[in-house]
Amino acid sequence: MQPTKKILGTKYMTYAEKRNFALDFPNYEVRRSIDLYVYLAAAHLRLKKRPNTNWINLHNDFGLDNCIGYHFWNAASVSQKPWVTTLELPCADDTRLKYLARKQCRKIFCLSSWVMNYEKSFLLNSPYGDEILPKLQLLHPSQEANIDEDSLLAKEFEVCRFIFIDRDFFRKGGYECVKAFTKVLESGFSAELIIVSKMDTKDYPLDAPDEELSHTLQLVEKSKGKIKIFNELSHQEVMQLIASSNVGLLPTYLDSYGYSVLEFFSYGLPAITTNINALIEINSSERGWIIDMPVVDTGHGVKRILRNSLEQRQQASNTLTDYLFQCLSSVLEQPNTIKDKSLAALKYVMENHIKSRNIEILEATYNNF
């Protein structure tokens, strides 16, 4: 008979929690817990039509949860039970810092070196620095390899296939992928582009104009099957598409990390990305291509490409499309570069995102609750 696992609570159970710490632990199970602020945040969203970021990132269990402690995503807790949190983004607000400094907070895992370095720098001038700094620990997401080196080396292709995967088509640069790839086809190159996305106009900070979505669909039609769009697929189907592709695309305007890049790497796909936040430490010229877009610090170390007006949006789109076209053309002109970058991408995942190591680190922390 297997021993009963100890229960750890968390605020939500989204992709982020499942991806980073709701793992297959030998001795622990992570479950969604009771939390006053979840209900307050939901009510605020319904009434005000916008999220309350303070309530989203706070937790109060009133001592009612049947768990030994908590692991949160970005959040801080008023609970008397021990807890840890994972910071996806730098934290600089006094409300959370006050709770992060309390003894109940045992560890603060930083998702990237970008977050870790900013947090250290910020805390040097914070009254909470002495309490919080010793708790910081870098812990990248885990990613299991989905192909071995021999199989990757044996992989052959007649036509180079690029793939873009993200529900936020416009924010992640999907529109620019289609525009740049259209120019690639017009230049006489033979290639394919796979798009897996919801294809709506949701974007940040402004929704995409309907004309951009219409233009996208027109270009797809014009490609005569060279650009394929899939709106809804199972996880297994998406992984099969990655496995049969050669280069991953994430030319994003705003991202904290970029999980799809790790998934590309796990199949030996080098990636084309922008230079946003943690992407510059995940991707590199050794295992992919980085598009050096002009970025601005919008506060507390968060960098993004400005698109606050229709004029800025158009300018950024034109610039990114031109860079992407140059990059795609270079790849197709020198297809032999894909193999070396593919091996480097796979080795990077195998050496730096080991799931068993992350489980060991997290369990060691929970054991001290």
Query: What's at 222, amino acid-wise?
Result: K
Is the confidence at residue 175, as pLDDT, over 90? yes
Whether residue 336 has pLDDT greater than 80: yes
> In the predicted model, is pLDDT for residue 17 greater than 80?
yes
Contact 245, 148 (CB under 8 A): no
Report the alpha-carbon distance of residue 316 to residue 85 in Å, rounded: 35
Going from the C-alpha of 248 to that of each of 141, 270, 328, 354, 363, the distances in angstroms are 19, 6, 11, 21, 33
- Rounded to whole angstroms, the Cα distance separating 8 from 82 reads 10
User: Any residues with CB less than 8 A from the CB of 224 and at least 6 apart, and which?
Assistant: none
Which residues are 6's β-sheet partners? 28
- pLDDT more than 90, % of the chain: 87
pTM: 0.93
3-state secondary structure at position 356: helix
* pLDDT value of residue 51: 74
Radius of gyration, alpha carbons of the chain: 22
Write the CB contacts of 357 (distance below 8 Å, at least 6 apart in sequence). 142
Q: Residue 255 corresponds to which tokens in the numbers above? A: 């991202």
What confidence tens digit (pLDDT) does each residue in 225-262 have? Answer: 999 999 989 999 999 999 999 999 999 999 999 999 99
More confident: 45 or 310? 310
Helix (H/G/I), strand (E/B), else coil: 87: strand
Name residue 72's beta-bridge partners. Answer: 85
* H or E, element range at 367: none
DSSP string, 205-228: SSPPPHHHHHHHHHHHHHTTTSEE
Fold classification of 149-352 (topology level): Rossmann fold (3.40.50)
pLDDT at 263 > cutoff 70: yes
Question: Given this model, what pLDDT does residue 69 score?
Answer: 96
- Residue 1: the pLDDT is 55
pLDDT at 52 over 80: no
Stretch 263-290: mean pLDDT, rounded?
97
